[in-house]
Structure 1
C-alpha cells in the first residue's frame, strides 16, 4: 500500500478527539457482532467506537475544510467509525470539487484502498468516488478490481457500477457480474445481486438477457436478490428453473 500523505497541522488529530467523545459502548458491542469481527469472520479484528451513521453525517459540515492529507491519515485509524468518517469527507470533497480535486480524491482512494475493509465502507464511497470518476473514462480498473484476491476490492468493483447504473449505463455492471459469478463469498453474491436488481428496475429486458444466460450458475443468494422486484410468477419461474437458458 502506498504510504498515506501526512497533514501539516492538527486536523488529523482533531477528528479522532471529537469522535471518541461520542462513542457508546452498547452500540459498539452490537456493531462488533453485526460487522462480523470475530476470528475467521470477514471483519476480524475491526474495532468500533459505537457511533451511528446519522451522527457521523451530522458532523460533516464542521469538518468540510479538512485537507485531503488529513482525511487519508484518519482513514488509517484502527477505529471503524473514524475510517467511515474519513470516507464520508472524501465523498463530500469529490462531489464539490473541480476536476483536479476529483482526480486527487480518486487517487488517494486507490492509494489507501486497503483501509476500505468492510462492506459499509465500500458501499458509502465506491459509487460516489470510483464509479463517478470513471464515468467518462476508461473503466478497465473495474475488471482489475473484480479479479483481485481482496474481498473488498472485488466488492468495490461491483458496487462502483451503481453510479453508472443510475445513468442507465449497464455494460460494466454486467461485465463485472460475469467475472464474479463463481465468487465464493456471500458478500459478493449479495452485491452482484443488488446491482443486477438495480439494472432490472431500470431495464428489465437487459437484466433478463443476462439472467437467462447465467441464472442457473448463480449462487442462490445472488439470484434471489437479482430477481427480488420481478413479478411473482416470473420470480418463481427463475427460482424453479423454468426459464429457457440462452447462450452467450
Structure 2
C-alpha cells in the first residue's frame, strides 16, 4: 500500500474542509498562539479522516506509526489531530517499544494543550495501561522544562484512572505538580484528579482536604468538579488564618522589657523585697542531631535525617524563657522554643512519603520544624537559702511543620500539626559561695493514650528536655551561664481523621544535643 498516497489524500480531503471565517475567529479569539492552523472544525477533521481508517488499520503497526509520525511532522494542527486519532485506533497492536516513539513526540513536537490532550489522553494512556512498567518514565515528565510535557504527565493517566488503575501514581503526580507555576499544568492534574474521582471519589476528597491549604485554586476546582455538593463545600471552605507564632513572643518581650524601666539599680527588672520576681532568659548556640528517623505511611520509607537528610551538621539553636516567681516557692514559667532544621539534599535512593514519591538523584528541599510553646508551674518544696528543688507540671503546644519538596518547587509532601502535650517537670539549683551556681531542669513524659498526648487517635508518644547549666550571678541581677541540653521525643500511630494523608500512619523519633550560652535578667 502506498502510504504517501494515503497521506496526500488525507491532506487533500482536509483542505476541502477549511472554513476561513472559523480560522480568523479562532486565531483572534480562541487560540491566537496556535501555529499551523488551517481552519477546519474538529467534526470536519474527523470526517476527512474517515475514508482512510480502514486502510490505516490494515497497515503493519510500525508502518502505521510511521504514517502518523509524518502527519504530525507537517506542523499542521488538524493533521496532528488526525495523526493522534489514527494511532489510537491501533491501540490493541501496541508494543512496549512504541513508547519510545510516543515519548519523542511528547518531548519534541507537542506545541499546546490541544496536541497534548489529543495524544496523551488516548495513545499514551492506552500504552501505560497495557504496560504498567512505563508509569515511572511518565512520572519523570513532571520535571521537564517544557510546561506541555509536565501537563502530559498528568493527562496521560486520565484513560487508566477512569478504569480504576494507577491511583497511587496519580496522587504522586499531583503532588509533584502541586506548585507548578503554569496554569495549564495545574488544570491538567486537576483534570486527572477529577477523572480519578469517578472511580475513587473518597480518595480524591481526602487528598483535596489534606492539601487545600496549598493547592492552587484552579487545580482544586477542577479536581472537585464531579464530587457531591457536600464534599465540594468542605473542600472550598476557607481556612482561618493562623496567628503568627512570633507575635505572642514579641508582645511578651515588649511588656517585660518596659517593666524594667521602673527597676532599681540593684536589679534590671525587679524591686527588692517584692513578693514577686520576674526573670527573662535568652539562649543562643548550636544543636547537633544525634539521631532522627521518620516514616509517613505503613509502606513509606523509613527516612534517616542524619544519614540521608542533611542533619549531620550543626544548626543554630535559640530559646526564650520568662519566669514569674511568687512568694519565693511558686513559679510560673513560659518558654518559646523555635526548632527548624532546613537542608538541601540529593536522594540516594527512591523515597516514598504517603502519596509522594522521589527518585534516586532527585534534588530535594527538606524541612523539619518542631517549634513549641510551653507553660509550667513549679512548687519548690525544698528550700535552703538560695538552694532549692521543685516539682511541677507543664503544658506544651507543639507547632510541627514538616516537608519534603522537589528543589524545583514543582511537587512535594507537606504535613502540619498543632496540639497540646502534658509534661512532668523537675527543677533544682545550687549556689556556691563564690557566686557561681549550677542548675538542672528536666521535662518529660511518656504516654500511649490519645487523651494524654493530645492526638485524636491512639498514639504512642514521648518527650524529654533535660538540661544542666552553670553560671555566675552578678551584682545587677544579670546571670550569664553555659547550658548543655538533651532534647528529643517522638511518637508512632495511625490517624483516623478524614484529613489524614495516605493511610494516616506516622512514626517520628528525634534526639538532639545542644550547647548554648545564655543570660538571665532579673
TM-score (norm 1): 0.83
Q: Does 1:16 align with 2:11?
A: yes
CA distance in 2, matches of 1:203, 1:8: 44
CA distance in 2, matches of 1:234, 1:209: 10
Residue of 134, 137, 147 corresponding to 2:132: 137
8 Å contact kept, 1:83–1:115: no
- 1:196–1:33: structure 2 CA closer, same or farther, 3 Å change rule? farther
Which sections of structure 1, spanning at least 5 residues, go unmatched? 1-6
8 Å contact kept, 2:126–2:160: yes
CA distance in 1, matches of 2:222, 2:70: 36
The offset of 1:115, in angstroms, is 2.1
8 Å contact kept, 1:48–1:79: yes
Residue of 47, 53, 56 corresponding to 1:58: 47
The offset of 1:13, in angstroms, is 3.0
Q: Does 1:79 align with 2:76?
A: yes
Instruction: Name the structure with the higher helix share.
Output: 1
Query: How well do the aligned residues superpose, as a CA RMSD in angstroms?
Result: 2.4
Residue of 150, 162, 165 corresponding to 1:166: 162
8 Å contact kept, 1:142–1:176: no
The offset of 1:8, in angstroms, is 6.5
Which residue number in structure 2 is paired with residue 120 of structure 1?
114
The offset of 1:127, in angstroms, is 2.7
Write out per-residue CA displacement over residues 121-160 of structure 1, whole angstroms, 9 at most, x where no aligned residue. Answer: 2222213221221123311112111111112211111011
- 1:134–1:231: structure 2 CA closer, same or farther, 3 Å change rule? closer
Which residue number in structure 2 is paired with residue 147 of structure 1?
143
Which protein has greater RCO, CA pairs closer than 8 Å, 6+ apart? 1
8 Å contact kept, 2:162–2:198: no
8 Å contact kept, 2:198–2:226: yes
8 Å contact kept, 1:28–1:48: yes
8 Å contact kept, 2:155–2:192: yes
The offset of 1:35, in angstroms, is 4.8
CA distance in 1, matches of 2:236, 2:127: 36
Which residue number in structure 1 is paired with residue 187 of structure 2?
190
SS in 1 for 2:137: helix
8 Å contact kept, 1:146–1:180: yes
Which sections of structure 2, spanning at least 5 residues, go unmatched? 57-63, 241-497, 503-522
The offset of 1:245, in angstroms, is 4.8
Instruction: Name the structure with the higher strand share.
Output: 2
Which residue number in structure 2 is paired with residue 241 of structure 1?
238
SS in 2 for 1:202: coil
SS in 2 for 1:156: helix
Q: Does 1:107 align with 2:100?
A: yes
CA distance in 2, matches of 1:88, 1:8: 17
Which residue number in structure 2 is paired with residue 218 of structure 1?
215
SS in 2 for 1:10: helix
Q: Over alpha carbons, which structure has the higher Rg?
A: 2
The offset of 1:14, in angstroms, is 3.0
User: What is the number of residues matched between the two proteins?
Assistant: 232
